[in-house]
Amino acid sequence: MTLTRNAADRTKRVVSSSGRERPVSETRIAVRTSELDSFGHVNHAIYLNYFEHARFEALKQAGFPWGTLEERGWAIFVVRIEVDYVAETHREDELLIRTWADSFRRTSMVLEQEMLRDDDSGEVVARARVTAVWIGSDRRPMRVPPDVQRGLSEGTT
Amino acid sequence: MTLTRNAADRTKRVVSSSGRERPVSETRIAVRTSELDSFGHVNHAIYLNYFEHARFEALKQAGFPWGTLEERGWAIFVVRIEVDYVAETHREDELLIRTWADSFRRTSMVLEQEMLRDDDSGEVVARARVTAVWIGSDRRPMRVPPDVQRGLSEGTT
Amino acid sequence: MTLTRNAADRTKRVVSSSGRERPVSETRIAVRTSELDSFGHVNHAIYLNYFEHARFEALKQAGFPWGTLEERGWAIFVVRIEVDYVAETHREDELLIRTWADSFRRTSMVLEQEMLRDDDSGEVVARARVTAVWIGSDRRPMRVPPDVQRGLSEGTT
Amino acid sequence: MTLTRNAADRTKRVVSSSGRERPVSETRIAVRTSELDSFGHVNHAIYLNYFEHARFEALKQAGFPWGTLEERGWAIFVVRIEVDYVAETHREDELLIRTWADSFRRTSMVLEQEMLRDDDSGEVVARARVTAVWIGSDRRPMRVPPDVQRGLSEGTT
């Protein structure tokens, strides 16, 4: 993955696992005390909350805010998740999550995510690859909205 | 409760329930998607995570960071909590929590907290009153550290 | 609060804070590893999850299952909670929560709850008093359903 | 994966991904109301709490209870997780998690897990594959305790 900047549209872009150049959404997360487990670090399940939050930020940035999902009675179900936990995180850590699309099928999409320390080190603390299915108001898989696919693939202008 | 500013030390101050003027610590919280429950709003239990996080911020501001607690093997146990839920909060809400001490006993302290929308409305969404006991490394109640009591009572300079 | 058994209907009953005899619903909870915080005990916010779960069990036992709430688009919003934390709980603890109604107003109800160790000690570990408002599908307060009030007040037969 | 029963020791056994026959630990989980998200089903991050809880049950069954971990100041850090979400789960669902070891390296182990409905359907709702590293009291990777490896590989007698 190589992070570049497109001078024209000022959006950060990344080359995804499958070799496509994609816009990157960035979300900042501040660790909360209650997210530590009895080993004194952020519990691995909590990372999924952080990544989920960042995915909805990416959708918003791609022109599809949470409110639209609610209004239409749609949902997005995670069907597969792979997470590599690279470093521990603790209370008072500030994190930055980068989210981008890798690929799309008719009713699902694969998003890639990277969690970094939001400091000079920029240390990667975790990486995720998430497959999610779009669900219509009838509770059945629906086509990925073309606008969303376009926004996640090319960025919004 | 009346919020004032002390021109001399620039710290915001508040008059607590028991009539004492106290320094106020402020913490910002951004609601996360995973904190919504099946009623589509932030679950009432999550407010306790927010308030807890803000209390540790207040301790830090009073000169007692989380790391010190860990190093010494001390803990702070909540023994009573009262929360009034005034308004719903939702995804994308930005919240501001104000925390101050009300009173102290030998091994415990009562903190008061107020959660507001962090926007022009400044609408109060919840209020809490929390009694917490200081626990030593022997897992028994210990005296509230005098420095902490001073920091929470008068502010730090 | 005195716990009695009504020989006739085999339902456990309790005398609530306001002096009324009420049926008691019982829910068992097994603490999970992830519910411990960095102090090595169940975090105080998690108790609210346990109590919430037990309240919905009480509603179900009063003849109003969760599914009915969902079908009708109704919700129950907590507007005030008071919890006394009496003893710590840890991994592998088995808990028993007793839930009963104290009183009703037009659109709200006050429930009382007690959490005990589910062992021979029967030690009380926490007590809660929760005020909740019934919310209709128009997202406004609605009358407490008479059936629910009857079920929580007298038990079902 | 084929589930068999060893008549001799009455322990259920399974053939893991890497072709080894392993003892299986079983853990029952009752979904709690607070674990539903705004899509009305159990949030995908919560499955990690369930799986984690079941892994510590498996360790206990292999002769290594949680208390021992705490006493020695050891920890077990998840370094990779893969989860396939096969079916939704909801409030009032009773789930059964089966956990077994797949393989071991010097300081880490790979556990496999399967979550089923604990009813006649026995429907699989999720599968997980988790790599975890053993961490000593000096906060550095330590050798997987031989007793644990033996208990997870052969069962206890």
A50-98 residue pLDDT tens = 999 999 999 999 999 999 998 999 999 999 999 999 999 998 899 999 9
pLDDT bucket at A16, cuts 50 / 70 / 90: very high
Tell me what the mean pLDDT of segment D33-39 comes to. Answer: 93
B107 touches chain D (CB under 8 A): no
Structure token digits, residue A65: 């805010």
pLDDT bucket at D92, cuts 50 / 70 / 90: confident
Enumerate the H helices of chain A as residue ranges: 44-61, 66-72, 146-154
Instruction: Specify whether the CB–CB gap between D59 and D118 falls below 8 A.
Output: no
Count of residues making up chain D:
157
Contact D85 A75 (CB under 8 A): no
Which position has the token pair 């009915």? C68
Instruction: Specify whether the CB–CB gap between D45 and C80 falls below 8 A.
Output: no
Chain A residues near residue D133 by CB distance under 8 angstroms: none
pLDDT, position C86: 97
Residues B78, D108: Cα–Cα separation, whole Å: 36
Structure token digits, residue A115: 């969690």
Contact A48 D45 (CB under 8 A): yes
Candidates B119, B127, B154; CA nearest to B48 is: B127
Chain B residues near residue C41 by CB distance under 8 angstroms: 77
Residues B56, B66: Cα–Cα separation, whole Å: 7
Residue A117: Cβ within 10 Å count? 16
pLDDT above 60 for C2: no
Candidates A16, A70, A24, A80; CA nearest to A48 is: A80
Fold classification of A27-154 is Thiol Ester Dehydrase; Chain A (3.10.129)
Mean of pLDDT over chain A: 91
D36 touches chain B (CB under 8 A): yes
Alpha carbon D15 to chain centroid, angstroms: 15
Helix (H, G, I), strand (E, B) or coil at B67: helix
Contact B33 A52 (CB under 8 A): yes
Fold classification of D26-154 is Thiol Ester Dehydrase; Chain A (3.10.129)
Where does residue B71 rank: exposed (0-12), middle (13-18), buried (19+ CB within 10 A)?
Answer: exposed
Residues D51, C143: Cα–Cα separation, whole Å: 41
Query: Which regions of chain B are under pLDDT 50?
Result: 1-3, 5-10
Strands B94-104 and C124-135, by their bridges, are unpaired
Strands D75-85 and D124-135, by their bridges, are antiparallel
pLDDT bucket at A11, cuts 50 / 70 / 90: low
Candidates C147, C149, C138; CA nearest to C111 is: C149
Residues B152, B10: Cα–Cα separation, whole Å: 15
Residues above pLDDT 70, as percent of chain C: 92
R_g (Cα) of chain C, nearest Å: 16
Which subunits sit against A, judged by 3+ Cβ pairs under 8 A? B, C, D
pLDDT above 70 for D11: no
pLDDT above 60 for A2: no
Instruction: Specify whether the CB–CB gap between A42 and A34 falls below 8 A.
Output: no
pLDDT bucket at A157, cuts 50 / 70 / 90: low
Candidates D97, D96, D105; CA nearest to D131 is: D105
Q: How many CB pairs under 8 A join A and D?
A: 60
Cβ neighbours for D95, distance < 8 A, ≥ 6 positions apart: D28, D29, D30, D31, D50, D89, D115, D116, D117, D118, D125
pLDDT above 50 for D2: no
Residues above pLDDT 90, as percent of chain C: 83
**Torsion region of D63: left, alpha or beta (phi above 0 gives left; psi -120 to 50 gives alpha):** left
C66 touches chain D (CB under 8 A): yes
Report pLDDT digits (tens) over C87-96: 999 988 999 9
Report pLDDT digits (tens) over D98-130: 999 999 999 999 999 999 999 999 999 999 999
DSSP secondary structure of C50-78: HHHHHHHHHHHHTT--HHHHHHHT-EEEE
Amino acid at D50: Y
Candidates C118, C156, C145; CA nearest to C26 is: C118
pLDDT above 80 for C61: yes
pLDDT, position B130: 98
Strand partners, A131: A80, A110
Strand partners, A132: A78, A109
Interface of D with A in 72-101 (CB under 8 A): 75-85, 88
CATH 3.10.129.10 fits C3-154, yes or no: yes
Residues A97, A122: Cα–Cα separation, whole Å: 11
